[in-house]
Amino acid sequence: MGLVRRAILEARHRLLPKPEWIKKKRVVDREFDREHGVDTGGYTYLGSLKIDSPNWRDGNSHIAADPEEFEAAIAALDADLSKLTFVDLGSGKGRALMLASGYPFKERIGVEFSEQLVRVARANGIETIHADATEYELPPVPTLLFLYNPFGRETMDRVAERTRASLDAIPRELIVLYLNPFHLDSWLNAGFALVFRGPHFAVLNPE
């Protein structure tokens, strides 16, 4: 492992959640995966994966979306979900896409830049697009854009700006549902308005 890659990996380890949260999360993950017969939980450090994108340095370790947090965030939306396509950027092993299948979304799309995580998602029966979020073109349809704290500020800035440009080119309904919104200002700076703030999520619409 190169020195730069090792330093980044060690920095990611230092940013992990507190041990008590990790312990609780492991229980939730085991129960979910056992109930559904899938492999979506656990922690996967991006530094341990082979990712053909320079943006891996700004990616966060894979942590599956918590079912209760996901359900609470969806419940806060004031929208007709049947008209929306659910797009998960940084979809990992596919947990959020599985949870989204319990709602009447028109379509579900996962985007993940790690080929290894894409293979796991597909083994779980979840079709995922292998692509970098900074290069992925959003579908020109009404969309719910889902983010579970997938990457750092630099990448989030680029994704927010590309999303704004996509809307300017093809105006349409688009809701951003951002769980653990550490870089909320990336979206505010790109011309999105905060319409609701929950305990662990933010809902944004274009201004």
The domain spanning residue 80 has which CATH number?
3.40.50.150
Residue 53: the pLDDT is: 66
pLDDT over 90 at 39, yes or no? yes
Contact predicate 194/183, CB 8 Å:
no
Percentage, residues of the chain above pLDDT 90: 75
Number of domains in the chain: 1
pLDDT, mean of residues 155-180? 97
How far is it, in rounded angstroms, from Cα 114 to Cα 53? 9
- Contact of 183 with 152, CB cutoff 8 Å: yes
pLDDT score at 50: 72
Per-residue pLDDT, 43: 80
pLDDT-wise least confident of 35-39, 53-57, 128-132, 188-192: 53-57
- For the beta carbon of residue 180, count every other beta carbon within 10 angstroms: 18
Range of the domain at 70: 1-207
Q: Is the pLDDT of residue 160 over 60?
A: yes
81's CB contacts (< 8 A; 6+ apart) are: 74, 103, 104, 105, 144
Specify the range with the lowest mean pLDDT, choosing from 7-16, 36-45, 195-204: 7-16
Paired tokens of 24? 């609780």
pTM: 0.87
Q: What mean pLDDT is reported for the chain?
A: 88
**77-88: average pLDDT:** 98
pLDDT at residue number 48: 61
pLDDT at 16 over 70: no
